[in-house]
A and B are shown apart, each in its own frame.
Chain A
Amino acid sequence: MFLEQIVAIIPDLNKAFSETFLMMSISVVLSAVFGIPLGILLFVTDNELLAENRWINRIAGFVVNVIRSTPFVILLVALIPLTSIVAGTIVGPKAATVPLAVAAIPFYARLVESSLKEINKGVIEAAIAMGSTLWHIIFKILLVEARSGLILGLTVTTISLLGFSAMAGIVGGGGIGDLAIRFGYYRFDNVIMFTTVVILIVIVQVIQAIGDKLAKRLDKR
């Protein structure tokens, strides 16, 4: 009985899974590509040894806080004009990646910043004493010393994105979370709801395990 029901939704699940995969992979990559530089900017502009600049730090920090304090659903709708420019459409999984990335970038940037703050200040001081430029310090010290923290932060970001992506149904983004809400929750179909939630749990577990393992392997402290 359960089994039949599950078999019946396999095509839907397949489609939802690939939608989730598409949304997640694009937005995770965007989070890393923009979140790491933004996190570095927040860190170096707040460090007297590096590139202290109170104004840039305050402005960047303010923008990050504004986006982070906006509920995702509101962000989703508010960003429709941007989405239409960037993705060329305002519906579907591709369109959903725009607000997902916009929400995740500042989130990850803060995690990047806090991993950078954990780096031993003495190492940065030593690097300066050796005549390093800011670029040397960013690429050879900060990113190297914080690498496992960056991986763990990206893991947390990915998992949060998975949660956000459930709301992407509002713009027809689809995905597993959306399936759980539309079929399971709104239609009181406990089997589908249960199945999709289990799948989500498994995905989260797998992502966390991979992140933990990778971070541990890279950590030589």
Chain B
Amino acid sequence: MVELIELSKTYQSKNKTVHAVDNISLKIENGEIFGIVGYSGAGKSSLLRCINMLEKPTSGQVLIDGTDITKLSLPDLRRLRQSIGMIFQHFNLIANRTVAGNIAYPMEVAGKSKAEIANRTAELLELVELSDKANVYPAQLSGGQKQRVGIARALANDPKLLLCDEATSALDPKTTRSILNLLKRINQQLGISIVLITHEMEVVKEICHRVAIMSEGKIVETGTAFQIFANPQEEITKGFVNSVLDIQLPAHLLTDKGDNKQLIKVVFKGKEAEEPIIDSMLRNFSVKANFLHARIDYIQDTPMGVFVLELAGDLAERERAIAFLDRETAGTEVIPYVS
């Protein structure tokens, strides 16, 4: 679908050169939801804008279905842009046009007939569940509704590719979820490939099939969403993953409870999260366990769990129990008490 080859974008200011995109090669497959994650200033926005040439790359190629779009003439580029949808963090709707007028705009640009536009607008309003708001102006809508209009507008000319520029960053968690579900539905039902940039790992967790982690203009790590969550390699990736999975125990639980007790953290990934491993441990070893913390996240339907247990019993028995857990799970570590 989209292939970036040795893509660079450099900004030249008076006394310094900024490599916003630094020699990135990347392939986005047909029908996938691809996430680009990074802190602000990492260059992800520039990277996204190179895909529809809102920013002209300094060097490298952008292939869309095999065509190098960096070499297209302006009219050809305009035609191509009509087939790439884009949605924005701040929605960017035309304030003086109604909802229906906003959705109609890209079709007017594409030279569709009035009847065609009217039909398609009604269809899209239904898809984003805003049929009752057709004649309302954007100022009267909530953030989530505005983004739905943005999505409808982006889909108007039946694109094969949808670019999302921090599409949920300005929305509250509940609205974020509903927008993400809508994007997921669009991806599944219409087969539209989605490239999204975000700094929120929640977004990745919910909908991304594959992810690239970006830092200082470079891609530092790529993988499936589950790989990234379950097995982050780079420090920056671990930081992002921890922003979602990190656990904070209250201080009183961390204070020393004597020789017969200790805290352990157990991580389950994938299938093992569905096995009764803790139960086996309690049956096979004479230890008692008390759950202090437990959570399971689903990364694209694959479970990943983190548990903190307080283990009580003889030292020898505890060590055997921990060895058992370590064997059966993705990782078990002892959390030292703080004195």
Contact = CB atoms under 8 A, between A and B. Distances in A.
Interface string B71-96: 00000001111101010101111111
Interface string A122-156: 11011111111100100011001101000000000
A120 B96 contact: no
A203 interface: no
B109 interface: yes
A220 B97 CA distance: 8
A221 interface: yes
Nearest to A49: B54
A144 B91 CA distance: 18
Contacts of A129: 52, 54, 81, 84, 86, 163
Contact of B81 (A49, A122, A130, A219): A130
Contacts of A141: 94
Identify whether the interface residues of A are mostly helix, strand, loop, or mixed. Answer: helix
A51 to B, nearest CB: 11
B78 A145 contact: no
B311 to A, nearest CB: 55
A126 B82 CA distance: 11
B335 interface: no
Contacts of B79: 131
Contact of A218 (B96, B106, B153): B96
Nearest to A146: B96
Contacts of A122: 88, 90-92
B110 to A, nearest CB: 7
Contacts of A218: 96
A200 B267 CA distance: 82
B217 to A, nearest CB: 21
B137 A220 contact: yes
Contacts of B106: 130-131
Contacts of A136: 108-109
Interface of B: 52, 54, 78-82, 84, 86, 88, 90-97, 105-106, 108-110, 137-139, 153, 157, 163
